[in-house]
């Protein structure tokens, strides 16, 4: 589609004439969008329609594509010629001041080059890169990795080579153009539908664009592969990294902050053709970044993006740059989990009903070099949870990992358990998990980010026992809710795991409420239960280790402790026997 309010222009650049459009009001910050292969500038139409409301937006067809002319030979697609084209467009349509550059695919490769080319670098205020690396920095990083890691570098490099199979094909003399003429051009809309779910129409120039654009690869890759430079890029750069890109591995952008000091990074769960699938997302991120560069206004998301960029390094922990929220983090499983995630590189938000305890956890987390904050939080309070989620948005940014751990113990006969007892245990053990999963799951989906939600249940979820009717009911509900939620969020790239610990020595028994007894009897039962759990000698660290494994392996359920494993197995093999065992009076005396 065409942007109806845009004005067309044509610019001569050497032997070719470039065609483009300008949209949006005069006097506003100027944004230049460069398309990739095998697209033309119409790939940006959705983005332009959004950004042109409050920015001046320039798009143009690169040489050989769309309505622009094509050079007479393949060497005419060299990056040097492409930079001359960009300079010509800027001279004609943005002769004064600096512009904000945005590039996708081969447009992104051009954008990286524009940051260092003497004809363009002083004219660029900021750059947003989508699905296209700097050829110099990418090949330089590959050479350095092979030098440092020798054979260990081969598996990840082979992974990227498999994604980049088409580059080799494009260098074969006859194959690629023949395939385009044989049917790829005609089938291109169907290919986009199959790979990214994109509904689009074929356009008459698709064959020409596809065949001409092959020269982009032939004219540039060999030179950069065998003689890459390692420039330092001074302009602010924003990386939008599609994690489902079949052509570009996210790892190719690791360590980039060594050469780009003003770098921010956001990984988004999308495929390669982000301008077509998610134009509103691009417009939002570009608008926010341009505002930051123009006015200095910062926000939590950009600050988090800078932290993520700095932490994305080879050899960093698996959660480096991620933000983990742990409820009930003041002690026991919560504290152990917060520290285990911090040790793997995650920044941590430790929450607890006891702020001092949460502060101690945050202090311990900082000792391993991550950022950590503490917050008092009653997970049973829906309004407080909603306000907390807003505070996280505005102060810290997007949460990647949520561990809904906060819980309370309640034991005693069903008939002695009051309505108030039931309300409290349901509010904390079940509603607390619901609030955390819902509020932060919604945000993960809205941001198109990968994430993981961990809900701490219990072996009591599938092991009935007299005296645990209320507690077991809440934990069984948590397990079932987690299983259902996992099914709902699977296609959105968000994992959900339920953790079912057995007898864990965490101190929860010291705070368990025993109903239907005197204060003296409750104290005695707490002491007896604590001794039993201590003799079992299974610690919170064991649960934390299994939580980390569940996140890394995207495990649906993790049983912790032989009693949990045995109880789950028994429930499958002989439910009747499990019910008979439930009648045994195992409550502390």
Active-site annotation, residues: 471
Cα separation, 410 vs 474, whole angstroms: 10
CA atoms of 205 and 292, how far apart (whole Å) = 38
Interatomic CA distance for residues 6 and 45, integer angstroms: 10
Q: Would you list the DSSP string of 475-527?
A: HHHHHHHHHHHHHHHGGGTEEEEEEEE-S-BSSGGGT-EETTS-HHHHHHHHH
Rounded CA-CA distance 588/584 in Å is 12
C-alpha to C-alpha distance for 223 and 135, rounded to whole angstroms:
10
Written as six digits, the tokens of 541 are: 């660290």
Burial of 555 (0-12, 13-18, 19+ CB in 10 A): middle
* DSSP-assigned states of every residue in 433-481: HHHHHHHHHHHHHHTT--EEEEEE--GGGTS--TT-HHHHHHHHHHHHH
- Asked if 106 and 133 touch (Cβ cutoff 8 Å), the reply is no
C-beta separation of 399 from 323 below 8 A: yes
Q: Angle, to 10 degrees, between the axis of helix 575-582 and the axis of helix 562-573?
A: 120
Closest CA to 16 of 67, 61, 71, 59: 71
Cβ-contact 243, 268 below 8 angstroms: yes
Q: Burial, 7: exposed, middle or buried (Cβ in 10 Å; 0-12, 13-18, 19+)?
A: exposed
Buried b (16+ CB within 10 A) or exposed e, 523-544: eebbeebbeebeeeebebebbb
Three-state secondary-structure class, residue 99: strand
User: Rounded to 5 degrees, what are φ and ψ at 454?
Assistant: -115, 125
Radius of gyration of the chain (CA): 29
- DSSP calls for 321-335: T-EEEETTTTSHHHH
| 16-23 and 7-13 strand pairing | antiparallel
The sign of the CA dihedral 355, 356, 357, 361 is positive
Contact between 529 and 512 under an 8 Å Cβ cutoff? The reply is yes
Both structure tokens of 447:
């941001």
Helix axes 300-311, 279-295, angle to 10 degrees: 100
């Amino acid at each position: 589609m065409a942007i109806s309010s845009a004005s067309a222009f044509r610019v001569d650049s050497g032997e070719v004439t470039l065609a483009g459009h300008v949209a949006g009001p005069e006097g506003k910050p100027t944004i230049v969008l460069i398309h990739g292969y095998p697209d033309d500038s119409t790939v940006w139409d959705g983005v332009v329609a959004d950004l042109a409301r409050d920015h001046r937006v320039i798009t143009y067809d690169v040489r050989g594509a769309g309505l622009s002319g094509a050079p007479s030979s393949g060497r005419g697609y060299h990056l040097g010629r492409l930079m001359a084209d960009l300079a010509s467009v800027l001279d004609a349509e943005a002769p004064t001041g600096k512009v904000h550059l945005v590039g996708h695919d081969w447009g992104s490769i051009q954008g990286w080059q524009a940051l260092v080319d003497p004809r363009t670098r002083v004219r660029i205020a900021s750059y947003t890169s989508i699905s296209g690396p700097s050829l110099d920095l990418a090949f330089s990083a590959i050479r350095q990795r092979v030098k440092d890691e020798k054979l260990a570098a081969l598996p990840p490099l082979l992974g990227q080579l498999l994604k980049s199979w088409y580059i080799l094909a494009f260098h074969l003399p006859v194959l690629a153009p023949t395939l385009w003429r044989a049917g790829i051009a005609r089938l291109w809309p169907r290919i986009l539908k199959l790979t990214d779910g994109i509904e689009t129409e074929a356009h008459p120039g698709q064959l020409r664009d596809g065949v001409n654009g092959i020269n982009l690869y032939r004219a540039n890759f060999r030179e950069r592969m065998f003689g890459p430079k390692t420039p330092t890029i001074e302009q602010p750069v924003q990386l939008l990294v599609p994690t489902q890109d079949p052509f570009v591995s996210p790892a190719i952008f690791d360590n980039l902050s060594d050469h780009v000091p003003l770098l921010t990074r956001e990984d988004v769960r999308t495929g390669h053709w982000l301008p077509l699938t998610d134009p509103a997302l691009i417009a939002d991120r570009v608008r926010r970044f341009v505002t930051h560069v123009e006015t200095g206004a910062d926000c939590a998301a950009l600050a988090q993006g800078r932290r993520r960029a700095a932490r994305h390094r080879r050899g960093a922990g698996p959660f480096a740059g991620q933000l983990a929220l742990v409820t009930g983090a003041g002690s026991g499983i919560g504290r152990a989990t917060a520290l285990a995630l911090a040790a793997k590189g995650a920044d941590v938000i430790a929450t607890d009903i006891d702020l001092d305890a949460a502060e101690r956890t945050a202090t311990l987390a900082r000792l391993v070099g991550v950022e950590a904050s503490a917050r008092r939080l009653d997970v049973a309070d829906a309004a407080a949870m909603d306000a907390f989620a807003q505070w996280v948005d505005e102060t810290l940014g997007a949460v990647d990992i949520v561990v809904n751990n906060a819980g309370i113990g309640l034991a005693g006969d069903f008939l002695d358990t009051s309505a108030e007892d039931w309300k409290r245990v349901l509010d904390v053990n079940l509603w607390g998990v619901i609030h955390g999963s819902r509020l932060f799951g919604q945000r993960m989906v809205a941001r198109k980010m990968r994430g993981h939600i961990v809900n701490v249940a219990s072996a009591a979820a599938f092991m009935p026992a007299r005296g645990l009717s209320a507690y077991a009911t809440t934990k069984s509900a948590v397990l079932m809710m987690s299983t259902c939620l996992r099914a709902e969020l699977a296609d959105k790239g968000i994992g959900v795991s339920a953790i079912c610990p057995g007898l864990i020595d965490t101190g929860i028994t010291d705070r368990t409420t025993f109903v239907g007894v005197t204060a003296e009897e409750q104290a005695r039962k707490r002491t007896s239960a604590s001794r039993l759990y201590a003799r079992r000698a299974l610690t919170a660290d064991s649960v934390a280790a299994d939580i980390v494994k569940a996140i890394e392996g995207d495990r649906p359920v993790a049983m912790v402790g032989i009693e949990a494993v045995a109880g789950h197995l028994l429930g499958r093999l002989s439910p009747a026997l499990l019910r008979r065992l439930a009648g045994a009076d195992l409550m502390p005396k």
